[in-house]
């Protein structure tokens, strides 16, 4: 039976389309809080966790 690992990924603001389509109550365009990181950086962290699991990882 394979081992199962649970890892928490804590992403900072990622440059994704969510900010272009997000609604809000202020009537302004939604923006990410700076600094904004690439989705590829999050993907690298996830791959690294598959290879070497740990309890949590920050995406920075």
Alpha-carbon span 11 to 58, nearest angstrom: 6
| Domain ranges (residues) in the chain | 8-59
Quick one: pLDDT band at residue 49, thresholds 50, 70, 90?
A: very high
Look at the block and give the residue holding tokens 């202020």.
Answer: 26
The string of pLDDT tens digits covering residues 27-44 is 777 888 889 999 999 999
Given the DSSP bridges, would you call strands 13-14 and 56-59 parallel, antiparallel or unpaired? unpaired
- Integer Cα distance of 53 and 4 in angstroms: 10
Model pTM score: 0.74
């Amino acid at each position: 039976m394979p081992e199962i690992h649970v890892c928490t990924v804590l992403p900072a603001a990622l440059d994704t389309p969510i900010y272009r389509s997000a609604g809000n109550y202020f009537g302004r365009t939604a923006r990410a809080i700076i600094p904004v990181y690439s989705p590829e950086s999050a993907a690298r962290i996830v791959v690294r966790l598959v290879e070497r699991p740990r309890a949590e990882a920050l995406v920075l």
